[in-house]
């Protein structure tokens, strides 16, 4: 069955790819503010993917999910972090261990690994856009690269939120029939996690007057 | 019975709300009451759960496997509330009142979330419940507002959230594996998944299982994603450390077992057992090496938790019914032993004002009750008879020998003996050494304190823990043995 991919597969893969590209953009964004905006944009693309899946598979519940994700991930979470940044009065992301060119190269290798590893699972089925799942894996892995290479709490938190976006992409393409209540529970949990991240970031900032994680080296052994 | 299941979920939540508003002394006693009541309810549920599955309202479900973990959590809830009353010495100021309010509301909420994990029905709700335990406990780790606490809390919340992100991925892949049988939309409840598991796509189930072990393994403390664990355990207030170690790690293991159950049904036993074996051996090896060089009392106990999680994973990989019974018994015995050890450590931290064991000398003579009981708890943790962990590790080894797994059993025994040395060497030196002479006090090496207990509440909590360990080790009640057998059968091992 080496027929051409359907329009549905194509659009889903295209939108997933856009999410992955945003992840790369975050990796080279030097300012924390722009990183948050990129995250908002990425969430917007994920919302768009949810709308597209909802419309083409006629799953009405996903419209509700898309609305909630628009509200939470595009509006509430970024504005919460931007407010924290305004109070913190720092704008530069913690310099990563490697330059942004090397970071992109590392991320390329990692993303390619994720993409081909999932591709080699050979899970061909009519309902599964395999390439979208592979891209979702690549997004998750690049989010890890972002978290590992950046040394400030905001970038690391954003890295986690964008990892969640990658999982959302996977969930939309392979598990679009997931009961709505479960999706809402996942989103609600994300919101709680954001609040807790915010509280701990604020504690760290008021205590050490920095958002950097470079002094997180007291506890070891 | 299902009323009782609903009650055991609702009462701690109500307690969390009340303690947010009530004065601290009321909160302390209320928490003790609710903790003891929760354990009593768990005991009432025990005989029933070892015969049949109890469901309540579609969302809650208690079978023998969840009952084992519910017992461990409820036991720690009760004893930790006793210990916390003795451990927290809150003054009268506004700050102390605010701290007490936050602490008790957080403690009850944390225990509530830990109770909910084994009771929810389905992989999705399981993930949600475990995520809730993470966010609440991260705030509790940060509550002391020291530099160490904020560092530990950040590492914990970031790593645990990443782990849970992977676990969410695992849940979604398992859901996808099921769509081949149930169609695009179905519920993720355990009975549904188990009924169709035989026809799931095997590659997807493997992928989901490995992701689940890695994801939930982060919270359980498996190598190489254990790194948050010693920091969080050592920097959290000691009652929280006890719950993290005895209950939180256990319920994360429970999540892995739920995936194990489905993977075993779907793939046969070999693959899931091998995955757990690899993670288990690596974890046990790392923990025994780190145990040899720890001087910080709470970090020592934290690495001992890592060690025990490795033992649990290896025990599951043996697969023989007796080994699985041993693993489940170890969950209970480890909860009791680690709780008791942390209560003793808390008593010493309060007495000497330090966690550094090189500065503590003659603790047994300074703390006439909690000192010796701490030594006993540490010996119990190192699997000395007659305590519960001796029995459970004996079962695990026996199970390993009954399967042709002799090499692994040999490695297992060597590593456990190494951990025993690490764990007992410095603690016995700290505890049983002579009280410091005045000369060494002048040099400022060690701390001198007056003789006497910090609080009788701490002693009470430790006595309860040791009695439970003795019961588990000498003669576990028949109803408990029955429960463990049934839970092992649910996990796919039939005698």
Q: In whole angstroms, how far apart are CA B479 and each of B51, B277, B464?
A: 10, 30, 20
Stretch B197-205: mean pLDDT = 89
List of chain A residues whose C-beta atoms are within 8 Å of the C-beta of residue B230: 219, 221
- Poorest-confidence range of A181-190, B120-129, B281-290? A181-190
Provide the number of CB pairs (under 8 Å) joining chain A to chain B. Answer: 132
Determine the distance in angstroms separating the CA of A192 from the nearest CA of chain B, rounded to an integer: 7
Containing H/E element for A95?
Answer: none
Beta bridge partners of residue A92, listed in sequence order: A31
Determine the distance in angstroms separating the CA of A198 from the nearest CA of chain B, rounded to an integer: 10
Cα(B401)–Cα(B329) distance, integer angstroms: 18
Stretch B42-62: mean pLDDT = 89
When pLDDT is cut at 50, 70 and 90, the band that residue B163 belongs to is: very high
- The whole-number pLDDT of residue B258 equals 95
- Poorest-confidence range of B86-100, B317-331, B471-485? B86-100
Q: Do B150 and A144 touch (CB under 8 A)?
A: no
- The whole-number pLDDT of residue B459 equals 93
Averaged confidence pLDDT in chain B: 90
Cα(B189)–Cα(B175) distance, integer angstroms: 10
Q: Can you give the residue ranges of every domain in chain B? A: 271-480
Q: Which two tokens stand for residue B311?
A: 């033992």
Stretch B403-414: mean pLDDT = 88
Relative orientation angle of helices B228-235 and B123-142, to the nearest 10 degrees:
50
- Poorest-confidence range of B11-20, B196-205, B307-316, B443-452? B443-452
- The percentage of chain B sitting over the pLDDT mark of 70, rounded to a whole number, equals 97
Quick check: helix, strand or coil at residue A5? coil
- The whole-number pLDDT of residue A125 equals 58
For residue A157, the chain B residue with the least C-alpha distance is B158
Determine the distance in angstroms separating the CA of A61 from the nearest CA of chain B, rounded to an integer: 11
Containing H/E element for B481?
Answer: helix B478-490
- The whole-number pLDDT of residue B439 equals 52
For residue A212, the chain B residue with the least C-alpha distance is B151
- The whole-number pLDDT of residue A1 equals 43
For residue B170, the chain A residue with the least C-alpha distance is A167
Whether A189 contacts B131, CB under 8 Å = yes
pLDDT of B272 higher than 70 = yes
Determine the distance in angstroms separating the CA of A116 from the nearest CA of chain B, rounded to an integer: 14
Side-chain-facing half-sphere of B292: CA atoms under 13 Å: 9
Q: What are phi and psi of B55, to 5 degrees?
A: -120, 155
What totals of helices (H) and strands (E) does chain A contain, helices first? 8, 0
Determine the distance in angstroms separating the CA of A195 from the nearest CA of chain B, rounded to an integer: 9
Stretch B45-70: mean pLDDT = 90
Q: Do B125 and A199 touch (CB under 8 A)?
A: no
B290: contact with A, CB 8 A cutoff: yes
User: For residues B455, B346, B235 and B467, what is the CA-based torsion angle, rounded to 10 degrees?
Assistant: -120
B434: contact with A, CB 8 A cutoff: no
Containing H/E element for B54?
Answer: strand B54-56
Cα(B495)–Cα(B479) distance, integer angstroms: 17
Cα(A37)–Cα(A26) distance, integer angstroms: 9
Give the ipTM: 0.92
Q: Which two tokens stand for residue B228?
A: 């948050």
Beta bridge partners of residue B62, listed in sequence order: B54
- Pick from B128, B131, B154: CB nearest A200: B154
- Pick from B154, B183, B204: CB nearest A204: B154
Please give the DSSP secondary-structure letter assigned to residue A129.
Answer: -
Q: What are phi and psi of B63, to 5 degrees?
A: -115, -175
Determine the distance in angstroms separating the CA of B326 from the nearest CA of chain A, rounded to an integer: 30
- Pick from B132, B165, B184: CB nearest A177: B184
Q: Do A207 and B173 touch (CB under 8 A)?
A: no
pLDDT of B288 higher than 90 = yes
Angle at A213 between CA A209 and CA A216, to 5 degrees: 100
From first to last of its 221 residues, chain A has per-residue pLDDT tens of: 445 667 888 888 899 999 999 999 998 888 888 889 999 999 999 999 999 988 888 888 888 888 988 998 899 889 988 888 887 777 676 666 778 888 889 999 999 998 888 877 766 655 567 788 889 999 999 999 999 888 888 888 899 999 999 998 888 888 877 777 777 777 877 888 888 888 888 888 887 777 777 777 777 77
Quick check: helix, strand or coil at residue B431? helix
- The whole-number pLDDT of residue B458 equals 93
Stretch B211-218: mean pLDDT = 95
Rg of chain B over Cα atoms, rounded to whole angstroms, equals 22
B20: contact with A, CB 8 A cutoff: no
Cα(B249)–Cα(B444) distance, integer angstroms: 38
Rg of chain A over Cα atoms, rounded to whole angstroms, equals 18
Q: Which two tokens stand for residue B356?
A: 């550094």
Q: Which two tokens stand for residue A157?
A: 């938190």
When pLDDT is cut at 50, 70 and 90, the band that residue B33 belongs to is: very high
Whether A183 contacts A113, CB under 8 Å = no
When pLDDT is cut at 50, 70 and 90, the band that residue B332 belongs to is: very high
When pLDDT is cut at 50, 70 and 90, the band that residue B495 belongs to is: very low
* pTM for this prediction: 0.94
Containing H/E element for B62?
Answer: strand B60-62
**B:376-405 residues touching chain A, CB 8 A cutoff:** none
- Pick from B125, B145, B203: CB nearest A123: B203
The more confidently predicted of residues A114 and B185 is A114
Q: Do B188 and A171 touch (CB under 8 A)?
A: no
Side-chain-facing half-sphere of B466: CA atoms under 13 Å: 20
Relative orientation angle of helices B24-49 and B64-87, to the nearest 10 degrees:
160
- Pick from B162, B165, B175: CB nearest A178: B175
Containing H/E element for A78?
Answer: helix A77-88
- The whole-number pLDDT of residue B149 equals 87
Cα(B215)–Cα(B213) distance, integer angstroms: 6
Determine the distance in angstroms separating the CA of A58 from the nearest CA of chain B, rounded to an integer: 12
Whether B332 contacts B71, CB under 8 Å = yes
Q: Do A121 and B203 touch (CB under 8 A)?
A: yes
For the four alpha carbons of A167, A172, A173 and A177, in that order, the dihedral sign comes to positive
B157: contact with A, CB 8 A cutoff: yes
């Amino acid at each position: 069955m080496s027929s051409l991919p359907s329009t549905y597969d194509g659009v889903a893969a295209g939108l997933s790819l856009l999410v992955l590209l945003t992840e790369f953009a975050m990796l080279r964004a030097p300012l924390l503010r722009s990183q948050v905006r990129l995250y908002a944009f990425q969430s917007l693309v994920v919302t768009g993917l949810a709308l597209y899946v909802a419309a083409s598979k006629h799953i009405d519940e996903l419209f509700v999910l898309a609305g909630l994700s628009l509200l939470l991930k595009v509006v509430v979470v970024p504005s919460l972090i931007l407010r924290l940044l305004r109070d913190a009065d720092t704008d530069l992301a913690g310099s990563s261990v490697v330059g942004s060119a090397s970071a992109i190269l590392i991320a390329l290798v990692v993303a390619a690994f994720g993409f081909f590893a999932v591709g080699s699972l050979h899970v061909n089925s009519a309902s599964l856009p395999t390439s979208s799942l592979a891209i979702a894996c690549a997004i998750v892995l690049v989010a890890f690269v972002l978290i590992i290479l950046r040394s400030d709490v905001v970038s690391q938190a954003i890295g986690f939120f964008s990892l969640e976006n990658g999982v959302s992409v996977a969930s939309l393409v392979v598990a679009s029939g997931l009961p709505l209540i479960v999706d809402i529970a996942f989103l609600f949990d994300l919101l709680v996690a954001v609040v807790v991240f915010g509280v701990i970031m604020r504690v760290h900032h008021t205590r050490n007057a920095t958002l950097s994680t470079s002094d997180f080296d007291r506890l070891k052994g | 019975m299902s009323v009782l299941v609903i009650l055991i979920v609702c009462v701690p939540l109500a307690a969390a709300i009340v303690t947010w508003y009530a004065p601290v002394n009321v909160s302390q006693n209320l928490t003790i009451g609710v903790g003891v009541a929760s354990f009593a309810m768990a005991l009432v549920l025990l005989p029933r759960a070892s015969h049949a599955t109890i469901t309540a309202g579609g969302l809650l479900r208690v079978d023998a496997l969840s009952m084992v973990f519910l017992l461990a959590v409820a036991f720690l809830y009760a004893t930790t509330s006793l210990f916390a009353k003795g451990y927290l010495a809150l003054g009268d100021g506004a700050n102390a009142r605010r701290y007490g309010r936050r602490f008790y509301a957080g403690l009850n909420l944390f225990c509530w979330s830990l109770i909910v994990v084994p009771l929810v029905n389905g992989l999705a709700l399981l993930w949600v419940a475990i995520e809730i335990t993470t966010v609440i406990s991260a705030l509790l780790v940060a509550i002391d507002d020291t530099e160490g606490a904020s560092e530990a809390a950040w590492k914990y919340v970031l790593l645990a959230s990443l782990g849970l992100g992977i676990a969410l991925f695992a849940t979604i892949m398992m859901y996808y594996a099921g769509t081949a049988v149930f169609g695009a939309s179905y519920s993720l409840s355990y009975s549904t998944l188990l009924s169709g598991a035989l026809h799931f796509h095997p590659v997807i189930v493997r992928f989901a299982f490995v992701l689940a072990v890695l994801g939930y393994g982060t919270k359980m403390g498996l190598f190489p994603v254990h790194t948050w664990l010693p920091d969080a355990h050592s920097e959290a207030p000691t009652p929280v450390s006890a719950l993290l170690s005895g209950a939180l790690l256990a319920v994360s293991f429970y999540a892995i077992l739920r995936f194990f159950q489905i993977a075993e049904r779907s793939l046969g036993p070999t693959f899931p057992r091998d995955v757990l074996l690899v993670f288990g051996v690596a974890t046990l090896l790392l923990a025994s090496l780190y145990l040899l060089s720890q001087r910080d009392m709470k970090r020592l106990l934290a690495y001992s938790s890592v060690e025990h999680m490795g033992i649990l994973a290896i025990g599951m990989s043996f697969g023989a019914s007796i080994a699985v019974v041993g693993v489940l018994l170890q969950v209970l015995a480890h909860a009791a032993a680690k709780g008791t050890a942390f209560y003793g450590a808390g008593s010493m931290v309060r007495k000497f004002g330090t966690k550094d064991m090189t500065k503590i000398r003659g603790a047994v003579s300074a703390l006439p009750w909690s000192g010796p009981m701490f030594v006993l708890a540490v010996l119990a943790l190192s699997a000395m008879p007659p305590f519960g962990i001796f029995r459970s590790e004996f079962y695990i080894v026996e199970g390993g020998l009954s399967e042709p797994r002799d090499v692994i059993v040999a490695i297992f025994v060597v590593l456990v003996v190494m951990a025993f040395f690490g764990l007992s060497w410095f603690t016995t030196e700290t505890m049983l050494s002579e009280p410091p002479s005045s000369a060494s006090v002048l040099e400022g090496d060690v701390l001198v304190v007056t003789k006497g207990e910090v609080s009788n509440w701490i002693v009470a909590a430790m006595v309860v823990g040791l009695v439970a360990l003795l019961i588990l080790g000498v003669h576990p009640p028949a109803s408990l043995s029955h429960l463990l057998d049934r839970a092992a059968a649910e996990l796919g091992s039939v005698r």
